[in-house]
Structure 1
Amino acid sequence: MTRSKSAASVSNMGSGQSKVLSAGVSEDEAIRFVPQNTPSILEIKRQLPAHCFQPTLAQSFYYVLKDLVIMAVLYLGMIFMDLQFPLAMYLTYPVYWYLQGTMMWALFVLGHDCGHGSFSHSALINDITGNLLHSLILVPYYPWKVSHRHHHKNTGNIDKDEIFYPVREKDYAADGKKFLPLFGLGLSWFFYLFKGYAPRAVNHVNPYDEFFVRHASQCVVSLVTIAGWVCFGLIPYAGHYGFTALLCHYLIPIFVFASWLVVTTFLHHQDENVPWYADHKWDFVRGNLSSVDRHYGWAHNLVHNIGTHQIHHLFSKIPHYHLEEATKTFRTVYPDLVRMSNEPIMPAFFKMFYIFDQQQWIKNDAEFHVYSSKKSR
């Protein structure tokens, strides 16, 4: 995509702090980074192989079994190393935490497919499988499904998106909004579950939150499933092996998984010169084209190609095992619409966190917004 600059001004906000307050980008400037004359969603769909939209139950469950087997092997391998080579624990445990946390992220992506209905054609199978998979990693499946669906319906919309959106001056709290460095990585995921993302905050563990009340019964099922896993799985495990074992074998990998989720979610929708739109300037195709494709190296296929994010956002019904093929076709037919970054993941995360932290506050009348390292400098 073509790159652009955007106007910005500095304003004193809150407790005397200086914040970059974007005046937005004018209509004339917007043409430099906003896709023009975009095809309709149906036109794009007609260009993609039809079989890419068809999930296969056996194939979907193959990946569930594969992930669970890998996780079991990692756990048993760690136990073996702990018993046979206890002095090596300072080397083996960090490796185990990183790999097991990565596999938990992979498991999350499969549950995420269930939430989108791309796991199978059966809504019942999708919800049962999604509840079970997400409960294993302490994710409230149905509340997250509802909020995530809202994100997909409003991607790139300043006024309606669900998380990591630019915040207008009128919504800026009196004392300002501060983030832990790098969002505290996995810590921010658990904060988000309870508090959402201000100013459009929601509580994913309250089925009667205004955001979830129409789905209260399904949300209760998800919360009860997690409670069952905690009461009949995690608490007995801690009682038998001790809390330290639970911490080292399960809770630290959970934090690694949550860090994967924060880093990935953030980078899929934040890059320099990726446009955000005011609600009256937004449409579904352009908004979802603001997603960014990234490659996760050795883990890319292991975590089910979630980095092929533009196609996933345009067509969330495509199963993960068809995303690469659909993406290849999309890039061939619509090269001017492609947004992708080949930056190494963590350096990109460090860079974009700094830019985002400096430039997330925008004027009330801003119609377009982009982030730029030039503005931060």
Structure 2
Amino acid sequence: MKSNGVPQDIKSLPTLIQIKAAIPTYLFETNLLFSLYYVVKDIALIIGLCASLMVLEWILPASCMCIVLPIYWYLQGTMLMAVFVLGHDCGHGSFSKYETINDVFGTVLHSVVLTPYYPWKISHRNHHKHTGNIDKDEVFYPVRKEHENGNNFAYLFGLGFGWFVYLWRGYHPRNVCHLNPLEPMFSNHVTGCTLSIASLICWVGCLYIYACSFGLWELLKYYFIPEMVFASWLLIVTFLHHIEEKTPWYSDDNWNYVKGALSSVDRNYGWAHDVIHNIGTHQIHHLFSRIPHYNLEDATRHFRKNFPELSRVKNDKIFPTLVRMYKKFSSQFRIGNETKVHVYT
């Protein structure tokens, strides 16, 4: 039996080992120098955008800034998304071979985008461990009727604000506060979570000092509005990686790792695809999260060549797709308590 090209019968699927054998081993190797290059490049671009805005404010009349500022906010927010993805690589261990280096850089990079690194690292690993599992996945899963009193619409309706709502209270009904190191999910990682939250508090303190020194508008203009653009990017990308027509979600007793990973969707984000480090190349990332972002495209080419019937690729325009799938999601995400496989139609 097939759905959208992906076999639903577990016996007809290749094993993870079989899929891995089709991908050259060198694509699984991390390179710290490559990762540092991307960190330096992204930071340089962020600084360059700030400097460019300062120069434009100095040489252009105030009437022109209503055009310049939205462009700056969009570009800078996209760059903050790129920084987040580098921190995301740290959480997966694909930034370097060294866990301490990964955690140090991940903490710094994620703090810069107002994300508690270690708590999110743990909850995100839960997402990867249970991708496509109705009963155990982390976010945007279908909700059974027994939990239907919760309202998950705000996560998308609020866009950037929705990301911070998720960090604060998780996703109904499996609620987790990423700012509480004593959450049961973090019970074996209290020290790492506490240090990440402390780093985040230090960064917020720096932002407060900046606002006191230069004014609230300067903080909003240069940082906080781009931060909301980043958060919107993240929420949209996460949603569209796992919500699409005929893309299955499985009950726990009807799920396994390969089925879940193959239920994710590859999307291309146009001019921003490479800028945000190929995070839209998502199927192979879910199958093998240790593959560094700079090898995802090559690994995906090998995967599609050897398993074309398993590929889920959508190249529709992003905003119309978001509107289309949000409408379907909002009307179909509530499911019966006994549902085994759920697809959006």
CA deviation map 1:57-89 (0-9, x unaligned)? 100100000000000000000011112214211
**Higher Cα radius of gyration:** 1
- Partners of 1:180 and 1:139 in 2: how far apart? 19
Structure 1 residue 278 corresponds to structure 2 residue 217: no
- Whether 2:220 is the aligned partner of 1:244: answer no
For residues 141-160 of structure 1, the aligned pairs below 5 Å read: 141-160=117-136
1:42 aligned partner: 17
Take 1:259 and 1:169, find their aligned partners in 2: how far apart are those partners?
28
Structure 2 residue 35 is the aligned partner of structure 1 residue 68:
no
SS of structure 2 residue aligned to 1:211: helix
Q: One-letter code of the match for 1:241? A: F
Residue 19 (structure 1) aligns with: none
Say if 2:155 and 2:162, in contact at 8 Å, map to a contact too. Answer: no
Q: Is the 2:181–2:190 contact (alpha carbons within 8 Å) kept by the matching residues of 1?
A: yes
* Mapped contact 1:114–1:130 kept (Cα < 8 A): yes
CA distance in 2, matches of 1:34, 1:236: 55
Q: CA–CA distance in 1 between the matches of 2:60 and 2:334?
A: 52
Q: Which amino acid aligns with 1:360?
A: F
TM-score, structure 2 as length reference: 0.97
Q: Given the alignment of the two structures, is residue 255 of structure 1 paired with residue 225 of structure 2, yes or no?
A: no
Alignment equivalent of 1:218, drawn from 181, 192, 196: 192
Q: What is the aligned counterpart of 1:362 among 320, 335, 340?
A: 335
Name the CA distance, whole Å, in 1 between partners of 2:157 and 2:263. 22
Q: Specify the code of the residue in structure 2 equivalent to 1:340.
A: V
Helix, strand or coil: the match of 2:289? coil
Once the two structures are TM-superposed, the CA of residue 237 in structure 1 deviates from its matched residue by 1.1
Residue 203 of structure 2 aligns with an amino acid whose one-letter code is: W
Which stretches in structure 1 are left out of the alignment for 5+ residues?
A: 5-30, 373-377
Aligned residue in 2 for 1:288:
261
The DSSP-based 3-state class of the residue aligned with 1:214 is coil
Equivalent residues in 2 for 1:76-87, closer than 5 Å: 76-87=51-62
Q: What secondary structure is seen at the aligned counterpart in 1 of 2:140?
A: coil
1:179 maps to 153
- Paired letter, 1:338: S
Deviation, structure 1 residue 2 = 5.6
Tell me the distance in 2 between the aligned counterparts of 1:119 and 1:3: 35
Matched residue, 2:103:
127
> What percentage of aligned pairs have identical amino acids?
50
1-side partners of 2:24 and 2:287: how far apart?
Answer: 14
Counterpart position of 1:269: 242
What are structure 2's unaligned runs of at least 5 residues? none
Deviations 1:228-268 (A, max 9, x none): 1121x211211111001101110000000000000000000
Kindly indicate whether the alpha-carbon contact (under 8 Å) linking 1:33 and 1:274 is maintained by their aligned counterparts in 2: no
- After alignment, is 176-185 or 119-128 more displaced? 176-185
In the alignment, which of 205, 209, 212 is matched to residue 179 of structure 2? 205
Letter in 2 for 1:143: P
Alignment CA distance shift 1:330-1:313 (3 Å)? same
Please tell me the root mean square deviation across aligned C-alpha atoms, in Å: 1.5
Report the counterpart of residue 25 of structure 1 in structure 2.
none
Matched-pair contact (CA < 8 Å) for 1:33–1:273: no
Give the AA of the match of 1:210: P
Please tell me the residue identity of whatever aligns with 2:322. F
Deviation, 1:213, is 2.3
Q: Counterpart of 1:103 in 2: which secondary structure?
A: helix
Which of 93, 110, 125 aligns to 2:86? It is 110
Give the match for residue 65 of structure 2.
89
Aligned partner of 1:48: which letter? I
Seen in structure 2, the aligned counterparts of structure 1 residues 350 and 35 have a Cα distance that, compared at 3 Å, is farther
Runs in 1 of length 4+ with deviation above 2 angstroms?
Answer: 1-4, 31-36, 180-183
Instruction: Give distance in 1, aligned partners of 2:235 and 2:332.
Output: 19
Partner of 2:169: 195
Secondary structure, counterpart of 1:204 in structure 2: coil
Q: Using a 3 Å threshold, how does the CA distance of structure 1 residues 32 and 256 change in structure 2: closer, same or farther? A: closer
State the TM-score, normalized to the length of structure 1: 0.89
Rounded to whole Å, the distance in 1 between the matches of 2:6 and 2:49 is 48
Quote the residue 1:161 is aligned against: 137
Residue 267 of structure 1 aligns to which amino acid in structure 2? Answer: L
- SS of 2:188's partner is helix
Q: 1:181 to 1:111 in 2, by over 3 A?
A: closer
- How many residues are matched? 343
Q: Which range moves more in the overlay, 84-93 or 181-190?
A: 181-190
Given that 1:194 and 1:202 are in contact with CA atoms closer than 8 Å, whether structure 2 keeps it comes out as yes
Secondary structure in structure 1 of the residue aligned to 2:189: helix
